[in-house]
Amino acid sequence: MRQKMMAIGDDFWIEDEDGNRAFKVNGKAARMRETFVLEDPRGQELSKIQEKKLSVRDKMVIERGTTRATVHKRLLGLRDHYVIEVDGGESLKAHGNVVDHEYEIERAGDTVATVSKKWFRIRDSYGVQLAEGQDIPLILAITVCVDAMSAG
């Protein structure tokens, strides 16, 4: 992923380990709130991500088919800590050095994804390594939310 391109209205590609375009993040600039759509390479919508403005704390909502997840900063405690509540599923958390893209996403104490810039020489890029059997578009959408929320 390329963090520099996370500005509202910008589109960017997420590439697989071989450099192939695997997912597109489509930034919707004409909206009142920050909105992103995660698409497959053919333009099929996989997840919709929307910022919720009128709440006690900043949060973003991911809609993926019948799955809905809410990402929000933890109110108290650690600065770089995000909670992901999945309707009808187990919650996740993202913690570590979010601003520098060095963090983990966990479910029930198990790491489901690791985010790192260390794997890349390109300054504005970072990688997401997923554990086996994960919902890839959901985890990538969570990463997009954490990136957008930590930038603002």
- Return the pLDDT at 152: 60
Structure tokens at 80: 């770089």
Question: What predicted TM-score, i.e. pTM, was given to this entire model?
Answer: 0.78
**Cα–Cα distances in Å, from 138 out to 15, 43, 78, 119, 130?**
16, 16, 24, 22, 11
Average pLDDT of span 99-105: 88
pLDDT tens digits, 106-134: 999 999 999 998 866 666 778 899 999 99
Looking up residue 147, the CATH number of its domain turns out to be 2.40.160.200
Burial of 140 (0-12, 13-18, 19+ CB in 10 A): buried
Domain containing 30 equals: 3-151
* Number of independent structural domains in the chain: 1
Structure tokens at 66: 């019948």
